[in-house]
């Protein structure tokens, strides 16, 4: 599949993965030591929900719009961020770089990589004046080898590719394995789409066979799978923070009542010992 963020900004998979991203950033902020985040497929950083792309799909109406006006008890910081960006009505949705930027402290850093030329230029211009953010025009998987481990020795690698390549899951599995070999204590968080089970199975097998440390899998599908449409999304998190499984479970329970048709499913389980 081809997951260009501009068409899918704010949909149900974005709500789930970005709330989870906030959980991990909140964990990193608990200690005073600085941390670094490597966002391997950063996209535009911020998305206009009135744009041609967003209006073509209107996917945000079944995602962010469902949680925007009310409380999200399982993920209050995510809900507050969305509200702060949209004080009057829902018109913009934050991509992962913008979410990270808003949770960085003075000495924390974001390394954002984007390979699409036009998206890179927009991303670079957006964050040009923030000294905490470095934007690079380079392949995200290659960037994992180039930028890890960071000098801070604390932080996150967030991997959210567009799944344009037929062997994307295999590339991602190798990137996770090689990245963890270079930075065994880093948190690695990878998102994947769920139409069928192929991508999920490839990543799960890689995590188990390679022995990824504290590998947590979380999947949220607000509607039943038909093998064709984007039913939901999953996260594979290595070196998952303490109690992240509990927070993700609570999030899935709450989102199940807000999104979808009641015929979906969710699961949070450990692939390797916590």
Size of the chain, expressed as the number of residues it contains = 274
Cβ-based neighbours of 197, under 8 Å, separated by 6 or more: none
Catalytic residue among 39, 108, 119, 160: 160
CA 237 to chain CA centroid, nearest Å: 10
Other beta carbons within 10 angstroms of residue 263's beta carbon come to 11
Helices 12-28 and 244-258 pack at an angle, to 10 degrees, of: 150
3-state class of 39 per DSSP?
A: strand
Other beta carbons within 10 angstroms of residue 39's beta carbon come to 28
d(CA 245, CA 247): 6
d(CA 98, CA 108): 14
Give the H or E element holding residue 117.
Answer: helix 117-126
Helices 140-147 and 168-182 pack at an angle, to 10 degrees, of: 10
160 catalytically annotated: yes
d(CA 201, CA 175): 16
**Which one, of 165, 238, 241, lies nearest residue 207 by Cα?**
238
Give the H or E element holding residue 177.
Answer: helix 168-182
- Residues catalogued as catalytic: 160
């Amino acid at each position: 599949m081809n997951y260009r963020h501009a068409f899918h900004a704010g949909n149900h998979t974005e709500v789930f993965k970005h709330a989870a991203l906030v959980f991990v950033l909140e964990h990193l902020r608990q200690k005073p030591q600085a941390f670094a985040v490597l966002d391997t497929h950063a996209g535009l950083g911020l998305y206009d929900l009135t744009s041609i792309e967003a209006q073509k799909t209107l996917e945000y109406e079944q995602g962010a719009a469902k949680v925007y006006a009310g409380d999200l008890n399982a993920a209050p910081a995510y809900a507050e961020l969305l509200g702060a960006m949209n004080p009057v009505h829902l018109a913009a949705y934050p991509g992962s770089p913008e979410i990270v930027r808003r949770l960085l402290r003075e000495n924390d850093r974001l390394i954002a990589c984007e390979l699409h030329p036009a998206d890179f230029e927009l991303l670079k211009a957006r964050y040009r004046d923030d000294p905490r953010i470095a934007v690079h025009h380079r392949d995200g998987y290659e960037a994992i080898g180039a930028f890890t481990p960071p000098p801070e020795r604390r932080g996150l690698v967030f991997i959210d590719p567009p799944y344009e390549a037929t062997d994307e899951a295999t590339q991602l599995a190798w990137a996770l394995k090689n990245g963890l070999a270079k930075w065994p204590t880093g948190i690695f968080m990878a998102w994947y789409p769920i139409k069928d089970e192929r991508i999920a199975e490839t990543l799960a097998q890689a995590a188990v066979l390679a022995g990824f440390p504290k590998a947590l899998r979380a999947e949220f599908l607000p509607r039943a799978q038909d093998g064709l449409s984007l039913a939901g999304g999953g996260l594979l998190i290595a070196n998952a923070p303490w109690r992240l499984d509990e927070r993700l479970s609570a999030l899935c329970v709450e989102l199940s009542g807000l999104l979808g048709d009641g015929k979906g499913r969710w699961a949070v389980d450990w692939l390797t010992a916590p």
